[in-house]
Structure 1
Amino acid sequence: MDKQELIKHVAEACDDKRAENIVALDMNEVSLVADYFLICHGSNERQVQAIARAVKETVEEKGLSIKRIEGFDQARWVLVDIGDIVCHVFHKDERYYYNLEKLWGDANQIPLHLGQER
């Protein structure tokens, strides 16, 4: 499975848990940290944890492993490291404070075409 396919599956897992404002950024030209960032948010801590859990389960169902999950217990900003893809699941209040889309504004956005755009 290529990275573009995987990011689509991860985005769908987020969407299934009603994550909001799901954005995928191509980081290849702007960062050595990862090839792609997927950024989304939930409206409360339980939803943030559910989204992160769904990402983990989806990746594992595809036969891949999660490198690391940070921030799950606090559920304000959960970072799910899938290797070349880093999924950032924010609490809505933290999302706008950190504003990763602006911080990494030079990165190209990848169209996701999810079924339930919000």
Structure 2
Amino acid sequence: MKTQTMYENSYDGIDKLRDSTKLNTWASYVGKYKLQNPGYEAPMAATLTAHYGDAAVAKLIQAASKVPQTEAVTTVLRKKQLSAWLAAEKSPNEVFRRLTKEWTTCSPTRRCTR
């Protein structure tokens, strides 16, 4: 029996989150949690990236930005993802290689090869 890696089910999970109700509910919860817990940072983009990877988050942002109900949330996520890459001083080539590698090794139609 093969052991599953973190990324093997990542597209399944992020596809479920793409549903506008779930994404907006989670975004609302994160916002309220921050208000009730001053000083606590719960960055949505960083949480999603740590769990699903850069490519999956980029795909979520791309798909969810086409849905009017999630457009505002995905605009924030896109800015945060880009800011994280800039803060980590990732070059455009590095980001491209990372996204391309994740897109080719993890897809919704086949198992990840990590």
TM-score above 0.5, yes or no: no
What TM-score results when the alignment is normalised by the length of structure 2?
0.34
Q: Larger % of strand: which?
A: 1
What TM-score results when the alignment is normalised by the length of structure 1?
0.33
